[in-house]
Structure formats: C-alpha cells, structure tokens
Amino acid sequence: MDDIDPIAIVTGAGRGIGRAVAVRLSREGYKLALTSRNESELRETADLCQGETMVIPADITSAEAIETLFDSVEDAWGAAEVLVANAGSGFAAPIHKTTDAQWASMLDLNLTAPFRCIRRAVPNMVAAKRGRIVVVASVAAKQGEPYISAYTASKHGILGVVRSAAAELAKTGVTVNAVCPGYVDTPMTAQTVSEIVSRTGRTADDARSALEAKQANGRLVTADEVADAVWACVANGAINGQGINVDGGGLQS
C-alpha cells in the first residue's frame, strides 16, 4: 500500500465511526470518497480531512447507487485500494413484534449493502494484486442479545461474508476483515439511549450508564478507538478473515 495518493471509499462517512475512520485515513495519506445519505454531514467530514476528498451522497441500500459510487471514484481517481463498509443502523423490538419490513430493513443496510460493495470492489483489487476491505460490524456479529434479533442476524451474516471472502481471496493480495465494536459513543448509541428512555421511562443518564455497565471496562468505546482498529486492518496485510472485537474486553476471542 505504498503508492502516492492511495484511494479509499468509506460508507456511512457522515458522522460517528465513519467520520473518525475517514479522518484517520486522510492523515495516512489517502484520498477519500465519502458517502452517506446526508450531504451536509459528509461535507463536515470532508472539512476535517486532510488532502483530497470526494463527497457522494447516496442511499447505499440501492444497487444502482453503489454502482454510481464506484464508477464516480474510478472515473475521477482510479480504483479504490481500500473499502471501509461502515454504513449501518439498528433498532430494538421483541422478536414477536419485529415486522417483516423491520427485518428487511436491517438486512438491506447491514448485510446486503456491504456485500454489494465488497462484490463491486473485489475485481479491481484482485487485478491490482492488493486491497483492503474492512466492514464495521458489531459484537452482535458474535453473540445474541435480547430485542435485537434482526440487527444481530444482519451482523452475524456480514461476518460470515467477511470470513468467506477472506478465505477466497487469501492468495490474491486482498484482505477482508471486520471490526466488531461494542457500544460506541456515537449518534447511533445516542439513539439507543433515546429508545431506552422511551421504552422504560428511565432518564437519559441512567440509560447511558446502563450501556456503559454492559462493557467490561465500564465505559463506551470511542469512535477513534474503532478507527484505530480499522487502520490496523488496512496497514497489516497479515490480518485477514478476522472479526476484531473493540469492546473493552467484554467478548474474548
């Protein structure tokens, strides 16, 4: 990964983990193609990055949008050497109240969209004999937790894709890994806190404390700590097929 101005694509780059990953990659000399639904958030991320960026607002659950994303990057700069598939979301509901639409929404965003991005990125990476694919998954990719059956299924699924792709590509110079955070201090966790407040009547502080208490080190993970793990997967070609836990030590593997 020693070319001048290497190229990376980061999905879900408007805030939280995606923003931290984009900033980290920019500091390491990467040109950044940033995508999410929210253009204003993407531009805020771009302003924080060093070097050249490209802002491409898109709904990553659209197969056509993924093609446009990659085509735009390749037309302007060339093929990406790094893909960080970070876009994702979650929701909580008892399994008997989880609707087909909610189930499909989780699989579309957390499983099918990153699979499509990986599928689109791989041919050029294999042709170049090098590439790094990192999916931001979750500790929910490895263990179940009440009320998040659809989210957990989607994250288990994408970890399976990562492991299979890594085995398939191991001799090509392309690595595929997942980073599996616990509760991270991001807008997504803030949404989880709001849902707990709405469902239980607890205060926001109590709800946040409950999430902190779920982690072995008693605090939320920072977005920068997740970005550091993503960077390790990018920088080290011997890391492949892994689901790297970033949760303060709660889930040991």
**Is the same domain home to 152 and 37?**
yes
Q: Residue 250 domain-assigned?
A: no
| Residue 158 CB-density burial (10 A; 0-12 exposed, 13-18 middle, 19+ buried) | buried
**Is the same domain home to 128 and 202?**
no
pLDDT tens-digit readout, 114-154: 999 999 999 999 999 999 999 999 999 999 999 999 999 99
Domain extent at residue 213: 183-220
**Is the same domain home to 205 and 229?**
no
Neighbouring CB atoms inside 10 A of 126's CB total: 15
Looking at residue 102, its amino acid is Q
Indicate the number of domains in the chain: 2
Q: Mean of the pLDDT values across residues 163-177?
A: 98
Q: Which of 138, 109, 102 is nearest to 251 (CA)?
A: 138
Residues forming the active site: 151
Q: Which CATH number goes with the domain that contains 136?
A: 3.40.50.720
In the prediction, which pLDDT does 4 show? 65
pLDDT tens-digit readout, 196-244: 877 788 888 888 888 888 888 888 899 999 999 999 999 999 999 999 9
CA–CA separation, 134 and 120 (whole Å): 14
The residue with greater pLDDT, 65 or 198, is 65
Confidence of residue 45 (pLDDT cuts 50, 70, 90): very high
In the prediction, which pLDDT does 193 show? 80
Report the residue count for the chain: 253
**Is the same domain home to 214 and 163?**
no
